[in-house]
């Protein structure tokens, strides 16, 4: 997220689009603090939830129509002149001129210029700036040029009128206008608004574009980089932020650098050339990347061998190996062995029936978990004859967080250290211990290998501290943070770092092999005194106080302990806060700055800017330093288009009213044999209802960690589906009665929770029913609490993905509901 | 007596996360119970010997037609005039020096009179131990400088712990603020020591009338009628006694001496 | 929302037998003190009935505790305003009285009789207490049906007296004492008691108002109207008035009174159970 949860208390309006109170209850305290101050809370969700209960306004939205909603707000802000003009003109690319050949989806009936119908991809060559003679983008600060981003944006969203929002999203026009008024009027120097999101936006075949739409609205209203504003991404698992930073992902390497593609990045030079932008802070990418290779391969990484670049595994294609892809390939027999470390795809992944069938085809399956999961018992899943499953399953009992040292990075980029409270019982080990032990064994196995491809792994270090089997996690964090790979001196030859000493900041990383850093953005989380003592800043514990409301003394927020990203935007062009009320950092011309001249950025946060770059210096007025053009992107060429466009979910009961394009033309739909991924046609009579799947405060994800804990398992009676009184009435279903929910992929039996918290939508004049089903249940649980076991909701969902990160569409698809167990 | 401690549960800040309910179980080592279907998220339906904190979920349409989902974390009220304490024949239920009401499990003999004597249906009989149980106000914690586990766990400060007088002052201000924000029915429940039961040491801020939350509008001390009832019984005794005396004094007319 | 204490059959029996014990003892003591020497049979039956019943009562009460071993905890505390506390004490003290009276009832010696009379007059107090405190006890709870009518104690007392008398009458009948002076006097006293009980019951229902719902309309309504009002009160009273000269019918009426007394306790205790 661009901001910090603590800062949300300063928002004047908060639009929660995810279910924050239920899924981020601890962070939600800051929303409640803002409310205590008088801030308004809007909750946009198809269901009325515990977040709605706290909200001033609940806006029910049909699942999967988020771009229509945000587009409507953008339209409203532009047409009613409610955007923050100075901010938009100077801090975004609104004034930049786009190639005249570019066409918005308004002119292409749902398609942008460059669509290749046969390949189903875009040729993006027209999606670019017009450049002047010096190669700089052309601008029109009046925003009047028809090719300016602003005018194109306006044209693109001209169709997203309040009437259209009502017809598409099912939000009554009056309610939409109330939201638009409430949210947009909190914009400008004196006011800010924050928008929170999570899976409500991501889990769609338009997932990435949904989030962009949100970001664009925030940029238009001047809500990024300012106190009380922000794009509040609410992440998942306690350490999912850390997992993404360190890139336990298929397509990136630690610190948000692409995992090389086989055909695109044959060597290091090509990789760096293609992946390093020409402007913005990312011009330093070679330093980060080469330091990463040094962290991986140590002394074996040299300039001569491209720092070991060729040892890195390369991706065969953009979607290999995304989560869903893995199971499709596994089902096809292409993957023979699988390590499921701390995940439960038998329940948690989309199209879980496919996932289970795929895992039942493996030769071997290793499950590392703190409980015996459904995945560990996939060989005896209901409906399976264990005799038919040849998969050999190994289970390793692991230690949960409380039983090991380490850090977790939470949703606000805050790295927090924890120490083991108790020793793990019995044979349980930490994941790190498991990994290094496995690595050491494999290294022994490959000790004699002369093959080129094995040399990197042989050289890699898996020993941290004195005990090869028990890594010292602080040393792991030190490697991530960065250290000198050899003695380093400064320009004048004065020694700066001894070999092995931790670097104090990522600014000291170099591209000459002198430094190693496992994840550049974490640079500085571990410091080292000259006498070799480590200072773990993730373990610092000074709470926020009146002097430092953001709590810089608590943990360490990457990058460089900044709490609000792009915070240069909290000051105006001249470096003064936009208003006294909303001040965060500002240019102090008197403060001691560079040796030759005074002046420095100072304030309540660590500036996310060159602290000595005066507002009137070159690019001193451009806050978005991570972008090549240094401004916020209203125009942002993604895979699916530079402006988000509404498409219906892959499965939808209605046709797209905004264009001829029913669904995202570039969405990923996997072909799976044996009817394992059948999709319902648009407007299917057999599967007439929209279904969304979601979480409950009381349960955790696939439920392994909550259904097996009595205190949590007892909080919900049993698996259920939330159904409106209207639909229950039509089907004759009473509260508490068993129902059968089915999709073209599978069916589940659950109890009906009939509630007024769900209401049918009126979409283009027709009634559309939506139901909600939490997905926490599976076939393991506590025998004494029978309700702790239940059918697997993901047996209903499909194997489809968005075109950028291939996330599943589990927030909106279709189903049928039948009374009783049928 | 030490300065009175209290818990103030501000339902306007409650998000129904039930961290309090779970924290209570964990701290007090209470067991899980098979839940009943309540038709909503609430579980269990009532306080039990294993559930001292209970988050209530009340769906109620607002006059505007919009829905309100009132979330309220309910608990023993630690009444200044406590029906349970008055009822207890063994002295197991006692008032601590902080003004809270606790049950001494080593003294309770399981007569269950307190169960019937709580105006809020809080105390519950534990079949396992054979004793009555309820919220202890984390007696072990408050004597060791810690706040109640439920208050500690509450992410939104919906449950606040502190000196009663300070909390009441704060609560009063909060009601005013809420009224200013348009919550017309915002009200305190049990804050007033001049009000019912001499005030509750676990008092509440409600957003609707008490009955919406399943709370009695005017709870009264059950024992308020002991004297009247006893006098009426004595009266009854006199009448019956008179009848008998009259009967036995009258000389027998019939036959058969015994 | 309100909780029931889950007092069930043991407590029904306790209430019922405690009432008989108190009523029988009281009848005995009155007979002893105010009647003739011929009424001593009545007195002796009363004393001898009260003693075992009190013992049974104590046993029932203790057995119903969650931790029976801790019965004595009640005697470690004395809360004079708490019916449960003094009830426990009263049961114990009354036990001593019944024991003494029963013992003395075997001796015809004048000093023994004199002692017995004195003891009896004091013991009446505790007997009545036992018969009625249970009513006061439940009417000082939070449960509306128990607590809204102010006459539960009075009602229990009247019923206790009546059932105590009926018990004595029945024993007289079974031991061949029917038709004697004692029999007649007991029956007469019981007539008054039944009449009085009916009045108290009517008043009680009026006071209860809407809180009487579990009685008047609940699942126990039939039992209440049929078992208590008709069979337990109206019919015996009618029998007494119409046919009190027929010993057999007198015995029938005594049985019905006992049934009524039991039904009263049953209905009152069980109607609040959920
Ligand atoms: N207690 C608890 N907390 C958790 C988790 C947990 O399992 N339990 N999981 C953690 C994880 S891994 C994650 S990723 C996060 C997820 O946090 P959230 O995204 O908040 O989680 P969900 O409940 O899956 O979905 C949120 C809401 O999206 C709504 N929704 C569905 N479709 C749409 C739509 O098109 N638009 C809008 N505006 N809303 C829609 C659903 O009704 C649902 O209420 O939570 C984390 N926190
Ligand atoms: N239909 C539908 N499906 C969804 C979603 C949805 O909203 N709807 N949400 C998706 C999202 S956002 C997510 S994050 C995934 C989650 O899906 P999964 O990650 O598969 O589900 P979890 O239950 O979190 O599995 C984590 C496992 O890690 C174990 N564990 C905990 N601590 C440790 C540890 O220290 N070491 C090890 N080795 N194991 C540990 C737990 O016991 C548990 O079994 O589900 C996705 N699936
Ligand atoms: S479970 Fe942990 S990460 Fe999730 S809200 Fe609670 S404290 Fe935060
Ligand atoms: S609420 Fe009930 S249990 Fe708690 S102190 Fe008051 S009377 Fe006793
Ligand atoms: S059950 Fe225990 S605590 Fe309750 S009144 Fe009886 S002795 Fe007291
Ligand atoms: S004060 Fe303690 S015992 Fe009472 S509800 Fe809170 S956590 Fe439970
Ligand atoms: S912990 Fe706090 S917010 Fe959560 S349910 Fe309890 S009182 Fe409400
Ligand atoms: Mo997640």
- In this prediction, residue A696 carries a pLDDT of 97
Whether residue B38 sits in one domain with residue B11 = yes
B243 within 8 A of C240, measured Cβ to Cβ: no
Strand, coil or helix: what is C185? helix
Q: pLDDT, tens digit, for every residue of A775-784?
A: 999 999 999 9
The domain containing residue A300 runs over which residues?
Answer: 251-317+472-538
Domain boundary among A538, A573, A592: A538
Ligand 2 is surrounded, with C-beta below 6 A, by A 199, 203, 236-237, 341-345, 348, 350, 368-371, 373, 398, 400-401, 431, 693-694, 701-702, 704-705, 775, 793-794, 797, 810
Number of helices (H) and strands (E) in chain C: give both, helices first. 11, 0
Is residue B138 domain-resident? yes
Contact partners, residue C141, CB within 8 Å, separation at least 6: B83, B87, B113, B116, B117, B222, C5, C147
Asked if B43 lies within 8 A of A717 by C-beta distance, the reply is: yes
Strand, coil or helix: A741: strand
Q: Does residue A566 fall inside a structural domain?
A: no
Copy the structure tokens of residue A438: 């496995």
- A495 near A487, Cβ under 8 Å? yes
Assess whether B205 and B252 both reside in one domain: no
- Examine the domain organization and report whether B140 and B239 are in the same domain: no
Determine, yes or no, domain membership for B251: yes
My answer on whether A178 and A295 are in the same domain is no
Nearest-angstrom CA–CA distance, C146 and A399: 56
Q: Is residue B18 one of the residues assigned to a domain?
A: yes
CA A232 to chain CA mean position, Å = 11
Residue A600 counted as domain residue: no
Q: Which residue has the tokens 């090509």?
A: A270
- B10 and B54 part of one domain: yes
Please, which residues bridge with residue A819 across strands?
Answer: A739
A43 and A58 in contact (C-beta within 8 Å)? Answer: yes
**A619 belongs to a structural domain:** no
Task: Provide φ and ψ at A499, rounded to 5°.
Answer: -55, 130
> Which residue from A673, A669, A634, A635 is spatially nearest to A649, judged by alpha carbons?
A669
* Ligand 7 pocket member B14 (CB < 6 A): yes
Say what the pLDDT of residue C243 is. 73
**A225 plus A131 within the same structural domain:** yes
Omega before B44 cis (within 30°)? Answer: yes
Same domain, A178 and A256: no
Instruction: Check residue A7 and give its pLDDT.
Output: 97
Q: Confirm whether A372 is domain-assigned.
A: no
- pLDDT score, position B254: 42
Q: Which of A26, A735, A785 sits opposite B155 (nearest CB)?
A: A26
Show Cβ contacts of residue A311 under 8 Å, excluding neighbours closer than 6 positions. A296, A297, A453, A455, A456, A457
Asked whether the beta carbons of residue B67 and residue A757 sit closer than 8 angstroms, the reply is yes
CA of residue A710 to ligand 4 center, whole Å: 27
Q: Quote the minimal CA–CA distance from C70 to chain B in Å.
A: 5
Whether B83 is in the pocket of ligand 4, judged by its Cβ within 6 Å, is: yes
Strands A515-516 and A483-484 turn out to be antiparallel
Say whether residue A48 is in contact with chain B using an 8 A CB cutoff.
yes
Examine the domain organization and report whether A164 and A291 are in the same domain: no
C11 by DSSP, 3-state: which?
helix
Greater model confidence, C217 or C220 = C220
pLDDT of residue C210: 87
Is the Cβ of A178 closer than 8 Å to some Cβ of chain B?
no
Do B185 and B203 have their domain in common? yes
pLDDT at C41 exceeding the cut of 90: no
Query: What is the C-alpha to C-alpha distance for residues A722 and A713, in angstroms, rounded to an integer?
Result: 19
CA distances from B77 to B81, B196, B202, B219, C224 (A): 10, 12, 5, 11, 36
Query: Rounded CA gap, A272 and A694, in Å?
Result: 40
Distance CA C45, CA B246 (A): 20
Q: Is residue B128 a part of any domain in this protein? A: no
Name the pTM for this structure: 0.94
Specify whether the CB–CB gap between B148 and B142 falls below 8 A. Answer: yes
The domain total for chain B is 2
In a domain, A700, yes or no: yes
Task: Answer for the pair A160, A645: CB distance below 8 angstroms, yes or no.
Answer: no
- Looking up tokens 């942002």, which residue turns up? A636
Residues B167 and B228 in one domain: no
Q: What is the pLDDT of residues A133-151, one digit of tens each?
A: 999 999 999 999 999 999 9
Are B10 and B72 in the same domain? Answer: yes
For position B251, what pLDDT does the model report? 55
Q: Find out whether A815 and A687 touch, Cβ atoms under 8 Å.
A: yes
B36 domain-assigned: yes
Under 8 Å between Cβ of B101 and B38: no
B116 belongs to a structural domain: no
How far, rounded to the nearest angstrom, does the alpha carbon of residue A692 sit from its chain's CA centroid?
19
User: CA of A19: which chain B residue's CA is closest?
Assistant: B15
Phi/psi zone of residue A701: left (φ > 0), alpha (ψ -120 to 50 degrees), beta?
A: left
Determine how β-strand A585-588 pairs with β-strand A600-603: antiparallel
Q: With bands split at pLDDT 50, 70 and 90, how would you rate the model's confidence at C178?
A: confident
Q: How many CB atoms within 10 Å of residue A136? A: 12
Q: Is the CB of A374 under 6 A from ligand 1?
A: no
Which domain CATH number covers A9?
A: 3.40.228.10
Residue A2 three-state SS: coil
Which of A19, A20, A25 has most ligand 3 atoms within 8 Å of its beta carbon, as the pocket-test mutant? A25
Question: What tokens were used for A371?
Answer: 């409980």
CATH number of domain containing B214: 3.30.70.20
Asked if residue A632 lies in contact with residue A212, where contact means CB atoms within 8 angstroms, the answer is: no
Cβ–Cβ under 8 Å, residues B127 and C65: no
CB A704 within 8 A of CB A343: no
Question: For residue B160, is it within any domain?
Answer: yes
| CA distances, C200 to each of A6, A676, B57, B236, C149 (Å) | 68, 77, 44, 9, 11
Residue A201 has pLDDT above 80, yes or no: yes
* Phi and psi, residue A21, nearest 5°: -60, -35
Q: Does one domain contain both A216 and A157?
A: yes
Q: Are residues A82 and A219 in the same domain?
A: yes
Range of the domain at B234: 223-257
> Over the stretch B208-247, which tens digit does the pLDDT of each residue have?
999 999 999 999 999 999 999 999 999 999 999 999 999 9
User: Two tokens at C246?
Assistant: 């027929």
Contacts of A651 (CB under 8 A, 6+ apart): A679, A680, A684, A687, A743, A798, A809, A812, A813, A814
Asked if the model's pLDDT at residue A124 lies above 90, the reply is yes
Q: What is the pLDDT of residue B250?
A: 63
DSSP SS3 for A339: strand
Rg of chain C on CA atoms, in Å: 18
The Cβ of residue C221 has, within 10 Å, a number of other Cβ atoms equal to 15
pLDDT tens per residue across span A611-660: 999 999 999 999 999 999 999 999 998 999 999 999 999 999 999 999 99
In this structure, the residue with its CA closest to atom 7 of ligand 3 is A26
Cβ-in-10-Å burial (0-12, 13-18, 19+) of C1 comes to middle
Determine whether the shortest distance from the Cβ of B104 to ligand 5 is under 6 A.
Answer: no
Angstrom CA distances, C83 to A25, B253, C63, C137, stand at 48, 42, 19, 5
Q: For chain C, how many residues are written? A: 274
Domains of chain C are: 9-270 (1.20.1630.10)
H helices of A98-195, in order, are 149-156, 162-169, 173-184
Which single residue is written with the structure tokens 């039942």? A360
A386: how many CB neighbours lie within 10 A of its CB? 10
pLDDT band at C108 (very low <50, low <70, confident <90, very high): confident
As a whole number, mean pLDDT of residues A410-429 equals 97
Q: Is B92 inside a domain boundary?
A: no
Q: Is the dihedral of CA A627, A628, A631, A637 positive or negative?
A: negative
Q: Which is nearest to A87 in space by CA: A616, A566, A412, A626?
A: A566
Residue A344 CA: nearest ligand 2 atom is 20
Which residues in A402-532 belong to E strands, given as ranges? 406-409, 414-418, 483-484, 488-489, 495-497, 515-516, 526-528
pLDDT band at residue C212 using 50, 70 and 90 as cut-offs: confident
ipTM: 0.93
pLDDT at A693 > cutoff 60:
yes
Closest partner CB to A716 (pick from B13, B43, B59):
B43
Question: Is A462 contained in some domain?
Answer: no
- DSSP string computed for A535-569: EEGGG-B----SS-TT-TTBSEETTTT-SSTTGGG
Band (C36; pLDDT cuts 50, 70, 90): confident
Ligand 5 center–CA B112 separation, angstroms: 5
Residue A694 — pLDDT band, cuts 50, 70, 90? very high
Residue A161 sits in the same domain as residue A295: no
The answer to whether residue A607 is domain-embedded is no
Q: Are the CB atoms for A742 and A796 separated by under 8 Å? A: yes
Please check whether residues A103 and A154 belong to one and the same domain: yes
* Chains in contact with chain A (at least 3 beta-carbon pairs closer than 8 A): B
**A257 CA to centre of ligand 6 in angstroms:** 49
Distances (CA, A) of A392 to A12, A357, A368, A384, A388: 57, 14, 14, 15, 12
**Same domain (yes/no): A180, A136:** yes
How remote is the C-alpha of C50 from its chain's centroid? 10
Residue from A20, A21, A23, A26 to probe ligand 3 pocket by mutation (most atoms less than 8 Å from CB): A26
Query: What percent of chain A is predicted at pLDDT more than 90?
Result: 98
Q: Which residues 22-81 of C have a C-beta within 8 angstroms of B?
A: 26-27, 30-31, 34-36, 38-42, 64-68, 70-71, 73-74, 76-77, 79, 81
Residues B72 and B154 in one domain: yes
Query: Which residues in C lie closer than 8 A to residue B197 (C-beta atoms)?
Result: none
Looking only at Cα atoms, what is the longest distance across chain C? 60
Rounded-to-integer distance, Cα A391 and Cα A784, Å: 30
Cα gap C90→C129, rounded to integer Å:
7
Quick one: B15 and B73 in the same domain? yes
* Residues in chain A within 8 Å Cβ distance of B39: 735-736, 753-754
Distance CA A90, CA A623 (A): 9
Q: Are A481 and A560 in contact (CB under 8 A)?
A: no
**Domain membership flag for residue A620:** no
Distance A695 CA to ligand 1 centre (A): 6
Q: Give yes or no for residue B98 CB within 6 A of ligand 5.
A: no
Same domain flag for B140 and B248: no
Looking at the fold, whether B188 and B202 belong to one and the same domain comes out as: yes
Of the ligands numbered here, which is closest to the C-alpha atom of A50? 1
Give chain B's residues under pLDDT 70. Answer: 1, 250-258
Domain match, B189 and B229 both: no
Q: Which of C38, C82, C136 sits opposite B89 (nearest CB)?
A: C82
Q: Which of A511, A538, A565 is the last residue of a domain?
A: A538
Q: In the predicted model, what is the mean pLDDT of residues A684-698?
A: 98
Query: What residues have CB less than 8 Å from A169, skipping those under 6 apart?
Result: A61, A62, A65, A68, A69, A72, A176, A761, A763
**Cβ <8 Å between A756 and B61:** yes
pLDDT at A295: 97
Phi, psi of A163 (to 5 degrees): -65, -40
Q: Measure the CA–CA gap between A218 and A236, rounded to whole angstroms.
A: 22
- Same structural domain, A36 and A152: yes
Residues A215 and A287 occupy one common structural domain = no
Indicate the number of domains in chain A.
Answer: 3
- b/e per residue, B44-55, with b = 16+ CB within 10 A? bebbbbbbbbbb
Do residue A56 and residue A118 come from a single domain? Answer: yes
Q: Which of B22, B44, B59 sits opposite A757 (nearest CB)?
A: B59
Which pair of tokens denotes residue A459? 């050289």
Asked if C209 contacts C253 with a C-beta cutoff of 8 angstroms, the reply is: no
């Amino acid at each position: 997220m661009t901001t910090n949860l603590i800062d949300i208390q300063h928002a004047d309006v908060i639009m929660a689009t995810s279910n924050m109170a239920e899924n981020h209850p601890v962070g939600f305290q800051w929303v409640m603090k803002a409310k205590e101050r008088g801030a308004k809370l809007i909750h946009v969700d198809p269901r009325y939830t515990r977040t709605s209960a706290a909200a001033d306004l609940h806006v029910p939205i049909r699942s999967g129509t988020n771009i229509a909603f945000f587009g409507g707000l953008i339209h409203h802000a532009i047409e009613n002149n409610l955007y923050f003009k100075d901010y938009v003109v100077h801090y975004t690319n609104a004034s930049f001129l786009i190639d005249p050949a570019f066409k918005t989806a308004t002119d292409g009936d749902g398609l942008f210029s460059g669509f290749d119908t046969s390949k189903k991809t875009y040729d993006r060559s027209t999606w670019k700036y017009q450049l002047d003679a010096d190669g700089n983008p052309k601008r029109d600060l009046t925003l009047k040029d028809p090719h300016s981003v602003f005018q194109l944006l306006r044209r693109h969203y001209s169709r997203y009128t309040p009437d259209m929002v009502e017809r598409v999203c099912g939000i009554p026009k009056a309610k939409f206008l109330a939201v638009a008024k409430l949210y947009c009027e909190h914009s400008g120097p004196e006011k800010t608004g924050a928008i929170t999101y999570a899976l409500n936006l991501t889990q769609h075949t338009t997932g990435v574009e949904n989030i962009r739409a949100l970001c664009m609205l925030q940029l238009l209203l001047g809500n990024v980089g300012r106190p009380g504003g922000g794009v509040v991404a609410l992440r998942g698992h306690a350490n999912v932020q850390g997992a993404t930073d360190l890139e336990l992902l298929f397509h990136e390497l630690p610190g948000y650098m692409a995992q090389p593609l086989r055909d695109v990045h044959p060597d290091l030079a090509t990789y760096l050339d293609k992946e390093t932008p020409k402007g913005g802070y990312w011009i330093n990418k070679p330093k980060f990347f080469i330091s990463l290779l040094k962290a991986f391969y140590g002394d074996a990484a040299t300039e001569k061998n491209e720092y070991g670049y060729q040892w890195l595994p390369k991706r065969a294609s953009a979607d290999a190996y995304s989560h869903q892809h893995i199971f499709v390939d596994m089902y096809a027999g292409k993957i023979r062995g699988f390590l499921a470390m701390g995940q439960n795809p038998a329940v948690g992944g989309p199209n879980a029936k496919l996932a289970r069938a795929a895992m039942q085809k493996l030769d071997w399956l290793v499950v590392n978990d703190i409980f015996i999961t459904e995945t560990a018992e996939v060989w005896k899943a209901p409906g399976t004859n264990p005799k038919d499953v040849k998969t050999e399953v190994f289970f390793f009992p692991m230690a949960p967080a409380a039983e090991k040292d380490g850090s977790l990075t939470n949703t606000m980029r805050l790295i927090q250290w924890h120490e083991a409270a108790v020793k793990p019982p019995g044979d349980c080990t930490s994941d790190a211990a498991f990994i290094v032990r496995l690595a050491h064994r494999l290294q022994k196995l490959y000790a004699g290998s002369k093959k080129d491809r094995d040399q990197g792994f042989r050289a890699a270090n898996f020993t941290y501290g004195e005990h090869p089997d028990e890594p010292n996690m602080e040393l792991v964090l030190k490697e991530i943070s960065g250290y000198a790979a050899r003695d380093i001196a400064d320009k004048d030859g004065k020694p700066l770092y001894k070999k092995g000493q931790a670097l104090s900041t990522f600014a000291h990383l170099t591209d000459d092999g002198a430094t190693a850093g496992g994840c550049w953005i974490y640079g500085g989380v571990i410091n080292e005194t000259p006498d070799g003592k480590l200072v773990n800043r993730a373990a610092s514990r000074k709470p926020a106080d009146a002097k430092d409301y953001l709590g810089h003394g608590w943990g360490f927020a990457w990058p460089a302990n900044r709490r609000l990203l792009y915070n240069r935007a909290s000051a105006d062009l001249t470096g003064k806060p936009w208003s006294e009320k909303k001040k965060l950092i500002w240019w102090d011309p008197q403060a001691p700055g560079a040796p030759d001249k005074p002046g420095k950025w100072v304030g309540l946060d660590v500036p996310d800017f060159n602290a000595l770059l005066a507002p009137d210096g070159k690019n001193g007025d451009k806050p978005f330093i991570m972008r090549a053009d240094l401004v916020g992107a209203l125009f942002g060429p993604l895979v699916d288009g530079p402006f988000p466009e509404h498409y219906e979910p892959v499965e939808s009961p209605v046709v797209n009213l905004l264009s001829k394009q029913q669904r995202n033309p570039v969405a990923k739909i996997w072909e799976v044999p044996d009817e394992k991924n059948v999709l319902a046609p648009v407007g299917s009579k057999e599967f007439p209802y929209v279904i969304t799947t979601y979480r409950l405060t009381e349960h955790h994800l696939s439920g392994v960690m909550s259904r097996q804990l009595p205190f949590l398992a007892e909080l919900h009676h049993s698996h259920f589906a939330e159904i409106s009184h209207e639909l229950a009435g039509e089907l004759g279903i009473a509260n508490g009665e068993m129902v059968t929910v089915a999709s073209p992929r599978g069916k589940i039996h659950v109890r009906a929770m009939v509630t007024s918290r769900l209401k049918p939508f009126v979409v283009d004049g027709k009634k559309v029913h939506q139901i909600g089903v939490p997905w926490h249940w599976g076939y393991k649980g506590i025998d004494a609490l029978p309700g702790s076991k239940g059918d697997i909701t993901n047996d209903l969902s499909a194997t489809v993905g968005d075109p950028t990160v291939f996330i599943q569409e589990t927030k909106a698809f279709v189903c049928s509901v039948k009374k009783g167990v049928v | 007596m030490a300065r009175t401690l209290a818990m103030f549960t501000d339902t306007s800040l409650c998000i129904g996360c039930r961290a309090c309910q779970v924290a209570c179980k964990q701290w007090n080592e209470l067991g899980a119970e098979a839940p009943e279907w309540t038709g909503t998220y609430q579980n269990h339906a009532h306080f039990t010997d294993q559930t001292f904190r209970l988050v209530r979920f009340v769906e109620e349409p607002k006059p505007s037609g919009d829905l309100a989902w009132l979330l309220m974390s309910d608990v023993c009220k630690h009444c200044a005039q406590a029906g349970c304490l008055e009822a207890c024949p063994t002295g197991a239920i006692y008032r601590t020096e902080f003004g809270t009401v606790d049950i001494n499990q080593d003294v309770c003999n399981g007569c269950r009179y307190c169960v019937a004597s709580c105006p809020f249906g809080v105390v519950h009989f534990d079949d396992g131990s054979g004793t009555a149980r309820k919220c202890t106000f984390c007696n072990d914690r408050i004597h060791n400088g810690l706040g109640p586990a439920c208050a500690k766990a509450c992410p939104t400060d919906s449950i606040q712990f502190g000196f009663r007088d300070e909390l009441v002052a704060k609560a009063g201000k909060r009601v005013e603020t809420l009224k200013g924000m348009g919550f017309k029915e915002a009200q305190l429940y049990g804050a007033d020591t001049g009000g019912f039961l001499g005030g509750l040491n676990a008092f509440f801020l409600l957003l609707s009338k008490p009955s919406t939350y399943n709370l009695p509008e005017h709870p009264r001390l059950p024992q308020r009628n002991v004297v009247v009832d006893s006098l009426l019984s004595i009266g009854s005794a006199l009448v019956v006694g008179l009848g008998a005396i009259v009967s036995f004094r009258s000389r027998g007319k019939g036959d058969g001496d015994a | 929302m309100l909780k029931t204490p889950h007092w069930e059959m043991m407590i029904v029996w306790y209430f019922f037998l405690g009432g008989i014990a108190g009523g029988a003892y009281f009848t005995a003591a009155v007979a002893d003190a105010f009647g003739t020497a011929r009424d001593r049979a009545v007195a002796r039956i009363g004393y001898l009935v009260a003693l075992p019943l009190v013992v049974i009562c104590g046993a029932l009460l203790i057995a119903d505790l969650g931790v029976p071993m801790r019965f004595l905890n009640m005697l470690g505390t004395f809360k004079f305003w708490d019916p449960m506390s003094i009830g426990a004490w009263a049961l114990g003290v009354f036990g001593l009285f019944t024991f003494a009276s029963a013992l003395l009832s075997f001796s015809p010696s004048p000093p023994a009789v004199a002692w017995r009379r004195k003891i009896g007059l004091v013991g009446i107090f505790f007997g009545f207490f036992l018969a009625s405190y249970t009513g006061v006890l439940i009417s000082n709870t939070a449960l509306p049906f128990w607590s809204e009518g102010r006459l539960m104690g009075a009602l229990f007392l009247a019923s206790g007296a009546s059932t105590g008398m009926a018990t004595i009458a029945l024993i007289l009948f079974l031991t061949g004492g029917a038709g004697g002076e004692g029999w007649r006097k007991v029956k007469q006293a019981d007539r008054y008691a039944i009449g009085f009980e009916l009045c108290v019951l009517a008043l009680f229902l009026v006071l209860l108002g809407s809180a009487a719902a579990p009685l008047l309309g609940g699942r126990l309504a039939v039992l209440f109207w049929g078992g208590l009002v008709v069979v337990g009160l109206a019919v015996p009273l009618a029998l007494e008035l119409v046919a009190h000269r027929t010993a057999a019918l007198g015995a029938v009426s005594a049985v019905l009174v006992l049934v009524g007394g039991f039904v009263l306790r049953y209905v009152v205790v069980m109607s609040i159970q959920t």
